[in-house]
Amino acid sequence: MRFLFLGDMVGRSGRTTVWEKLPGLISDLRLDFVVVNGENAAGGFGITEEIFQNTLSAGADVVTTGNHVWDQREALSFAPREERFLRPANFPKGAAGRGSGVYMAKNGARVLVANIMGRVFMQPDLDDPFACAEDLLAACPLGEQVDAVIIDFHAEATSEKMCFGHFVDGRASVVVGTHTHQPTADHQILNGGTGYLSDAGMCGDYDSSLGMDKEEPLNRFTTKVPKGRFEAAQGPTTICGLGVEISDRTGLAEKIAPLRLGPRLEETVPAFWR
C-alpha cells in the first residue's frame, strides 16, 4: 500500500496549495491512502467544516487534528457526524467526535487511523497517550481486524514521540509526529517494522515563525509586549509530509522517505515512487 501523510496545513496559503497539488500527487504517485493534518488550516487556528470538506474533495481520506481542534467552535458541531474527521483519541470520554476509525484504501486494505496527543509541554493535558494506544491496538490489532495502522502522534517533545514509536513498534504500520511544524530528518523503520518520523513538518509558508507572519512573534520575543494578533503567513507554501510503502502481507513499513515540495526547503520525493 502506498501511503502519504501531509503535515499541518497552516492558513490559506497552506490549505490552498495542498488542495491544488494533492490530486496530482495521488495520480502521479499512485497513492492508495492519504492522511492530512488540518488543525491549523483556518487562519492558523483550528479548522472549519468547509475547509474539511475541501480537503476531502482534494483527495484526503482522513483529516487529523491536535490541540487546536476546537479553536473554530463549529468543529464541535460537525465532528460528531463526520467519520473522516479525527480529534485526539485521548480526550476524556464524552468529547465530541471520534479519535480513530477504520477506513478502506484504494487497494482494498482496511486501515485503522488514530489521532493521539502527547502530554509533555502540551495543553490541554489529556489522558495517557500510551494507555490510549494500547486500548486501540488491542481492540483492532494489525493483521487481524485491519491491514494497516497509522497513528498521527501530535506532540511537542521528541523524547515522548520516540518513546511512543518504540511502544507501538511492530503493532503499527506508521507513527508520524505533528505539531512542531518543523520537519525532522529521522525517518526510519524501527526494529519491529514500524515506520517512524518525529515530525512531518507543515504545509505552509516557511518564511515565517512556524507558519505565522514572523513580525509579531519576533516582537514578542524582543519586547515582551504584544502589538497584535498572530496571523498566518501568506507567502509561497512548501508541502511537507512522509511517504511510506506498507507491506500488503505484514502491514508493516517496507520503505519510508520524506516528501517536500516548494520553496525554501530542499525538494524531495520518495525515490521509490519516482
- Judge contact between 262 and 270, C-beta under 8 A: no
- What gap in Å lies between CA 84 and CA 64, rounded to an integer? 8
pLDDT for 273 equals 86
> Which residues are designated catalytic?
68
Q: How confident is the model at residue 274 (pLDDT cuts 50, 70, 90)?
A: confident
**Section 120-135 average pLDDT:** 97
**Section 251-259 average pLDDT:** 98
**Section 243-248 average pLDDT:** 98
Per-residue pLDDT of 139-185, as tens digits, reads: 999 999 999 999 999 999 999 999 999 999 999 999 999 999 999 99
**Section 37-46 average pLDDT:** 97
Q: Are strands 33-37 and 62-64 parallel, antiparallel or unpaired?
A: parallel
Find cell 497513492 and name the residue: 31
Distance of alpha carbon 146 from the chain centroid: 20
pLDDT for 85 equals 98
The pTM for the full model equals 0.98
- Judge contact between 55 and 9, C-beta under 8 A: yes
Helices (H) and strands (E) in the chain, counts: 6, 13
Q: What percent of the chain has pLDDT over 90?
A: 99
**Section 243-268 average pLDDT:** 97
